[in-house]
Amino acid sequence: MDMTTKSSILLLVLSSFLMHLSSSKAGQIAIYWGQNGNEGTLAQTCATGKYDIVNLAFLATFGDGRQPMVNLAGHCDPYTNDPYSNPCSNLSSNITSCQSKGVKVILSIGGGAGAYSLGSATDAAQVATYLWDNFFGGKSTTRPLGEAILDGIDFDIEQGNGQYWDVLAKTLAGYSRKGKKIYLTAAPQCPFPDAWIGGALKTGLFDYVWVQFYNNPPCQYISGNLTNLQESWKVWTSIVPAKKIFLGLPAASDAAGSGFIPATDLMSKVLPAIKGSNKYGGVMLWSKYYDDQSGYSSSIKSHV
């Protein structure tokens, strides 16, 4: 073999290695959809090609004897018999449309303004059974979003006593073994450990954890200062036993009280500082409505 051939082979191997290295750090974009009727349909959201995961926000009422209720704001009301109230029957075809494009559709439970809590381990198991029967492979006559089978459950828990979320995660994981995998995701606040689901995250059952690096000044990016965010990121990626950790951000400056990172800063400063972690999964954005206004995901997608 002459030197020219050897050099060509070496360059090919090196090129292949660099492409693998680059793709191994390629992240995904997760978006929250459902809290603004002016953000387009779910099917339209997935058809943009911008997002890999869509969180349906929210199952905002459940637990402690409450009747579970999905709240999709201006989109639809799954509990009305009034055809003029835009019931959510068409969401089932929207969900399968998303899934056919490779987009995971996940139901987010909780949120900042719901009525929810878990009163006991038994209560947590009952909520898990409700979720299985109404959104996954179980059977129910009251499936709020129709017959489509979702891809997972997102724990966006921002109130309550922080108890029994680990039981809910374990029970859902048990159902996952009965058929199609149920992805478990979570949206904790960046102060560590999270006050509500810190215990649940210790189970190691969560696939994706999108940490909210906003509305939390002690651990978010502030005016060019990367230190707080970077130190918090190191804690989350080194301690939490999740498969991937995402950087949770507002998609526009008015999408949160604080923590918005201009796209240029995100691409030139923040992402280079965090992508070295093997736990890096990508970026989560709140929300589709604000992303429509700002074009944020389009600006950052090639760098995520």
DSSP symbols for 1-65: --HHHHHHHHHHHHHHHHHHHHHHT--EEEEEESS-TTS--HHHHHHTS--SEEEEEEEEEESTT
Catalytic residue among 39, 147, 158, 231: 158
Distance CA(21)–CA(276), nearest Å, equals 11
Burial code of 63-72, b = ≥16 C-beta within 10 A, e = fewer? beeeebbbbb
Distances (CA, A) of 197 to 31, 161, 202, 218, 249: 20, 10, 9, 19, 19
Burial of 254 from C-beta contacts in 10 A (0-12 / 13-18 / 19+): exposed
DSSP class of residue 269 equals I
Helix axis angle for 121-135 and 165-176, nearest 10°, is 40
For the stretch 197-201, contacts whose Cβ atoms lie closer than 8 Å and that sit 24 or more positions apart, written own/partner, are 197/155, 197/157, 197/162, 197/165, 198/162, 199/162, 199/163, 199/165, 199/166, 200/155, 200/165, 200/166, 200/168, 200/169, 201/240, 201/241, 201/242
Distance CA(108)–CA(199), nearest Å, equals 18
Residue 158 bears catalytic tag: yes
Q: Dihedral (C-alpha) 126, 110, 220, 230: value to the nearest 10 degrees?
A: 30
So which residues are the catalytic ones? Answer: 158
